[in-house]
Structure 1
Amino acid sequence: MKILHTSDWHIGRTFHGVDLLADQRRALDAVADIVRDHGVDVVVVPGDVYDRAVPSADAVRLCTRAFERIRAAGARIVVTSGNHDSPARLGAGASFAAAGGLHVFTTVAAVGEPVVVADEHGDVAFYGIPYLEPDATARELGVAGGRSHASVLAAAMGRVRADMQDRPASTRSVVLAHAFVVGGEATGSERSISVGGVETVAAGAFAGVDYVALGHLHSPQEVEPHVRYSGSPVPYSFGERSHRKAVWLIDLDAQGLADVTRIDLPVVRGLSVLEGTLDELVSDARFAAAEEHYVSAVLTDAVRPLDAMRALRQRFPFAVHLEWHRPVGSDLGRYRDKVIGRTDAAIVRSFVTDMRSAPSDSECALLDAAVEAAVAQQDSSTATAEDRSVAMSA
């Protein structure tokens, strides 16, 4: 049996405010193409199908399209909910969807009730373990002591093993789980699932399973040969620019795990972090390769340039992030020298420019009004205090 492991689609996510639906569509189309080209039997998606509990209509349409294309390519689909998903919404109509080959696991009650798919060697049982929030699931799982990710996952795996024992010895097993397993490396774009500072579980919790398809971490990685993260299909932070997005093609034979092949996904749009003065970034030939990338720019000008993002986007239309790093050793003068002789309004505008960017005309009007109100309040307070002093002395 051929199984394709993908996860953490995060459909509906934005990248520094930029809509990623078009990028996600291209990546998920590539997943469907892999299913068709490699004759995949089952696609597993262990969690974070959506980026938020209440996805937009466009996100739902894209997800539905992805499922339809994968199913049309010939594969059945097994999905679990992640910490970003709403189990109730993702799992709505799950029993009906299963009749069409889409199997969605979002409840604790179904942890020990696999979907069974047969091949020429016999049965393969797919167990879906959704993201388990310790406080919310401990009682249902019978965890009485310290509630942690490790304890609730161990209880869930206890239900899995109990079901496995009741099946023929020839039955192979695949577990989908959304968790932070010891040995995995985060990229920085994952939402923390820590409870009391402890969010990891040991890979040994999955002992006895032929393959464990993990979700939550966004880079493809091997924890153990049979325990892996596929990562997300597109990058969600500049910390992910150092690795190539991929999926795992799993081959199960009569004895269990026979082979795992990494298949790289196409680069939808590159990521670049560029550093230099504004003039260098918009004119230097060495930055030409990043012109169609998502760009994070670090400016090193001695004085923060005005309207820098607009200038950058003339060359880099997908520039999404901008920082100004004051050059080390630059002589910007003492604070007193910078403010002496300047009005309060001018000082406030300069502060906003240093901290963010030059305020617009409408923002300047708001800042000026705030300064005038503060000065008026201060004058009123001073006058009241003086009146009280005169009255007391009289």
Structure 2
Amino acid sequence: MSGTARVGRRGASGGTNDAAYLRRLGPGDVAVIDQVDLDRATATALLEAGVVGVVNAAPSISGRYPNLGPEILVEAGVTLVDDCGPTVFSDLADGSTVRLHDGAVHVGDREVVRGFAQDRDTVADLLDEARGGMAAQLEAFSANTSEFLGRERSLLVDGVGVPAISTSMRDKQVVVVAGGPGTAEEVRALTGFIREYKPVLVGVGDGADALREAGHTPAVVLGTVAELDPSLARKARDVVVPADPDGFVAGLARMQDLGVDPIAFPSSANPEDMALLLAHAHGAALVVAVGFDASLGGFLDRGRSGSIPSTFLTRLRLGPTLVDAPAVLALYRSRVSILTLVMLVVAVLAAAVVAALALGAGPSLVLLLETGGRAVAQWATAVYRGVVG
């Protein structure tokens, strides 16, 4: 297949944690990235951008654990040329037309770089082998968790470092939306819950865009300068930015130039967990997590090494205050009860009978309406009793 090469930065995933790169991608492009163990979130973001091919300088499946990204790409018919080496960033020019064939990347008639062509069978074999690396990853997880706890003990235990915000969350329900696979669908499914309970909405990175697309305006947005949309940030009551010492000062000046005055959150936790800790520290009665994957595979299938202990310890800190969106969707029902619907049906049929009498309808029509009304009322009552009982 052929497409336009969009070359990312060497050492950058070109995925969900590189929003500027994602915005450059469009339908028919070939994404040139550098990400070991291509995760599900990155693969989904690439698919949503419409890419037809992916050229990865690194191995998409290293064998450390069974990551899900490559399987998602090949199942969707995206050509994946894997493990091409770092020279791909110097050998390929951004915007050039490339052709991918049998593991090779061609520009015109010239083979520029060669990798490994992944397909369903090769990905399945590599994933089977990678499942054997789970034990080693769990051991590393234990060590990283102890290290993270030592570094962020004050934040996790006492809430030290959580910034003050103008949005009130005390004794309120808070919905935290992160940009992940299925986020848009979960937000749309929660529309009834949001309208009824009017929770405080917090958008993290692309999660803020998902809220806007569903017709909601987040009160708080949190993310890096590259992730946040200035137009959406200006509408939020609070804008919280991770205080990354490498880029926070420059990013702060840029956002202030755009009319946004962000609040710094000094922590090495990932932005999604910062948002959960922010809600908990400000007294949220219930925190609903949207776009989060709390499964073991989801914990391991992350591109950032610090994400696993951060997410694990954050969930322990929030405890029963935190619930995931699928649980809310399974339990939530509208306050319009079945009994109310029964009464509505009976009222409509009664009105029909009255109208028929007023218009001089024959006895047979009135009898039909009365009989139908009683039948519908009995059926609806039986349904109500069955559900409530």
TM range (shorter): under 0.3
TM-score for the superposition, normalised by structure 1: 0.24
Larger radius of gyration: 1
Q: Pick the structure with more strand per residue.
A: 1
TM-score for the superposition, normalised by structure 2: 0.24
